Amino acid sequence: MENKMTNLLDGLNDRQKEAVTTTEGPLLVLAGAGSGKTKVLTHRVAYILENRLAAPWEILAITFTNKAANEMCTRIANIVGQMSEDIWIKTFHSACLRILRRDIEKLGYTSNFNIYDTNDQKRLIKDCLRELNLNEDNYPIKSVISKISSAKDEMIDCKEFAKRNDDFRGEKYAMIYARYQQKLKENNAMDFDDLIAKTVELFKDNPDVLEYYQNKFKYIMVDEYQDTNNLQYIFVSMLAEKHRNICVVGDDDQSIYKFRGANIRNILDFEKQFDDAKNIKLEQNYRSTQTILDAANAVIANNFERKEKKLWTNQGEGEKIEVRTCSDQVDEAMYISGEIEKLVSSGKYSYKDIAILYRTNAQTRALEDNLSCPYRVLSGLRFYDTKEIKDILSYLRVIYNPNDDVNLTRIINVPKRGIGDTTVGKIAAFAESMGVSMFDIISDEKYLEALGRSSAKIREFSAIINNLREYIDNIPLVDLMDKVFTETGYADSLMTENTPEARGRIENLQEFKSKALEYEKNVEEPTFGGFLDNISLVSDIDNYDTEQDAIVLMTLHSAKGLEFPVVFMCGLEKGLFPSYQSEGELDKLEEERRLCYVGITRAREKLYITYALQRVMFGKTESKVVSEFVGEIPEKLLNRTDNVVRKQFASYGSARGYSGSDLFGGAGKKSDMDYSAIIAKSTKSGAEMKSSVTYKKGERVMHKKFGEGMIVGITESGGDMMLEILFDNVGTRNLMASFARLKKL
Ligand code: ATP
Ligand code: MG
């Protein structure tokens, strides 16, 4: 025991040791990327167990994804062995779900409630709008969902919402919100926000339940604290109130979920709330080279609202950051593909060391089409989002909780069994007027008769469901799924169809079965409900298998907390990254910049940044300009390459009697010219390109990066001016007038 413990602290720096061993009282570890925050949390849990400060089940560690939870579990298991199994290492949602399954009856739900994802939510809101005679154009579903979600985050219930929003539209939103909540309850279902909101409500209304958990969790730890929203913050605060042994770690510069309600103030205000909180700063970065770190620091320094942090590394300077200008998204993908092959054939890296990160899922398409190496995409259509899996899941959910009208409506006529929309509408109307669920109606003979001709088919359907319900937790999950496939006629209908697509669907269903098998193997007490919960909580990133030798493609958001020897950040273009939605809004631009900081700091050894001059976006080809974030990285850290520019400059040069290679100082050698700026600008439309300022030869100007200099040449170029400037310190540069942001002196 003694030995292991010394091991536990071995290799940690003094600050990290302090954070691991400061177990009592509130503790805040606010530190930059790669400084070992997650490592500290893991070691801290192990330290508490080793010192017998608490039993495993008295520790609650909250991580941001299930994957992170599993990883932490494995790491702790490596240190403390089997004991790790009883620790609550969970995400906010999975912790709350576990609490709710136990006590939700106190809030008038039954414990077999279903969890609704965004698609289910949309369907439910649509129903609400229809019933309230409101038009989707005036009350867009997305905006309704976001309003309800913010209200829940602020713990504003329907009544309070109505009070606060008493204008015409506000009143309507209040009605939708109220109807939506009522429907969720009738369906015995919760959305994701409810999982946390209802837990907090449960704690508030039932002090005994709260006390039970307050006593239980002697030590509470939260990773990625900067991304907690208000409700999550209240949830942990309530739990920590008794023992006050709460340790939160995070980095305000990595807060990237404001659009989901993450409140950066939570981390900045932690010290106010827990006024005796100890504050430990970690300043050594163990992940990245100095070059990568310098780039990250330079970018994030442009944000106003932040706590200044120092970060250093002794990993050495490392290689320069490759910045590549590409002609379009295909060229970009081919370049990345080519570089990956070089990296791997050098023998230094394998595919799994490499990640491609992007701002939006839409960017995966061109990459997928042009990559010639094994890859995995953690985005796009998730496995659980395909039609067949959704259908079967709906069946499983109805079997689990027959009061779930949303899922029942989805599958009552899938496969087609002659129950038309009119009949379904009638059933819904009956249910509505009787105040019961649709399943109650179709299981009751006296209503069935009223449904006329369709009644025989409906009777058959409800018999299938009732029959399948008998098997819950009585036969292995996989067998239950087989029964669902066959007895509902689903498998038959695919088999009859016998198209390649249908065969693909059958394969997916087989895959679904293997997932059930896997669940049964991995979980100590597998249950049908547990399996459904497991599926509800799974996210893209959870499916990321680090063992497989394939490069990984994911959004910058999903990459949080991860690290890779080599990172490609692509699509660094204005309007894409930073997103066009942040245009003219400082808050949003700063969030985009934090996302850029997250991206850069995922790289350990090599970072590539790419951007394209043209990209197909929203179905049309757009000219693009390099992202301002690239310009924020000191030029000396970059190695710019660009065959597009060479071509264009070659023709520009030859018109003046130069050869392309003269301009670039010979083949392969890089020019000092800020040519990415020039070419980026030259693709803009004429109207945008015009510089409103007039320059003259001999004038002195100031450039943000190059300092003071004198204009020595001016060339008209496509409505803009190319200025040749002799800078006092860095020599001659050619800059486009409208792009260079020069100040006349
Ligand atoms: P992020 O902000 O990105 O979440 P983090 O602060 O959580 O980063 P970790 O992921 O815990 O940082 O650590 C970054 C890397 O540095 C990991 O590979 C980790 O194993 C390594 N590391 C952390 N501390 C040490 C140390 N004292 N000695 C050696 N390696 C360390
Ligand atoms: Mg971390």
What are the pLDDT digits (tens) for 446-479?
A: 888 888 888 999 999 999 999 999 999 899 999 9
Q: The whole model's pTM is what?
A: 0.79
Per-residue confidence (pLDDT) for residue 386, from 0 to 100: 81
- Apex 44 CA angle, 214 and 296, nearest 5: 110
Q: Is the pLDDT of residue 129 over 80?
A: yes
* ipTM of the complex as predicted: 0.99
CB atoms inside a 10 Å sphere around CB 603: 29
Q: Say yes or no: CB of residue 35 within 6 Å of ligand 1.
A: yes
* From 179, 359, 594, 602, the catalytic residue: 602
Active-site annotation holds for 37: yes
User: Is the pLDDT at 125 greater than 50, yes or no?
Assistant: yes
Residue tagged 């200099």 (tokens):
709
Q: How far is it, in rounded angstroms, from Cα 366 to Cα 327?
A: 13
The answer on pLDDT for 716 being more than 90 is: no
> Per-residue pLDDT averaged across 374-402, rounded?
85
286 lines ligand 1 (CB under 6 A): yes
H or E, element range at 703:
strand 700-703
244 is catalytic: no
Q: Is the pLDDT of residue 547 over 90?
A: no
pLDDT at 654 over 50: no
Least distant ligand from the CA of 598: 1
Query: Range with the lowest mean pLDDT among 12-21, 598-607, 721-730?
Result: 721-730
Average pLDDT, the chain: 86
Closest CA to 640 of 672, 679, 600: 672
Residue percentage of the chain with pLDDT more than 70? 89
Distances in whole angstroms, Cα of residue 409 to Cα of each of 46, 403, 413, 536, 706: 48, 11, 8, 19, 65
Banded model confidence at residue 646, pLDDT cuts 50, 70, 90: very low
* Residues 6+ away with beta carbon under 8 Å from 255: 226, 227, 262, 264, 267, 591, 594
Nearest atom within ligand 1 for CA of residue 35:
6
User: Is 496 labelled a binding residue?
Assistant: no
Show the tokens assigned to 201.
Answer: 């409500």
Read off the pLDDT of residues 181-225 as tens digits, 9 standing for 90 and up: 999 999 999 999 999 999 999 999 999 999 999 999 999 999 999
Least confident of 70-79, 114-123, 368-377, 595-604: 70-79
Paired tokens of 304: 């106003």
* Least-confidence region, from 23-27, 136-140, 375-379, 461-465: 375-379
**pLDDT level of residue 525 (50, 70, 90 thresholds):** confident
- What per-residue confidence (pLDDT) applies to 258? 77
Ligand number, closest to the Cα atom of 68: 2
Distance CA 393, CA 411 (A): 10
32 is in an annotated binding site: yes
pLDDT > 90: what percent of the chain? 59
Q: Tell me, what's the pLDDT at 734?
A: 73
pLDDT at residue 692, rounded to an integer: 60
Binned at pLDDT 50, 70 and 90, residue 47 comes out as very high
Between the CA of 311 and the centroid of ligand 1 the distance, in Å, is: 13
Higher pLDDT, 662 or 132: 132
Q: Whose CA is nearest to atom 4 of ligand 1?
A: 561
* Mean pLDDT, residues 402-427 taken together: 93
* Alpha-helical segments (H) within 51-91: 66-80
Tokens of 384: 């659980």
Q: Which helix (H) or strand (E) holds 711?
A: strand 707-717
- Are 152 and 193 a contacting pair, CB within 8 Å? yes
720 is catalytic: no
Higher pLDDT, 500 or 512: 512
Q: Catalytic one among 71, 186, 194, 224?
A: 224
Is residue 655 very low, low, confident or very high in pLDDT (cuts 50, 70, 90)? very low
Which numbered atom of ligand 1 lies nearest the CA of 285? 16
Give the confidence band of 647 by pLDDT, cuts at 50, 70, 90: very low
Distance 249 CA to ligand 1 centre (A): 13
Please say if the pLDDT value at position 497 is more than 70. Answer: yes
Catalytic residue among 38, 63, 121, 291: 38
pLDDT at residue number 336: 97
- Residue 371 near residue 333, CB atoms below 8 Å: yes
Q: How many CB atoms lie within 10 A of CB 740?
A: 25
The SS3 call for residue 691 is coil
669 is in an annotated binding site: no
Give the model confidence (pLDDT) of 665-698 as tens digits: 223 333 333 333 333 333 333 333 344 678 888 8
| Mutual angle of helices 490-497 and 500-522, in 10-degree steps | 150
Per-residue pLDDT, averaged over 645-668, amounts to 35
Specify which residues 720 forms β-bridges with.
717
Q: Known binder of ligand: residue 390? A: no
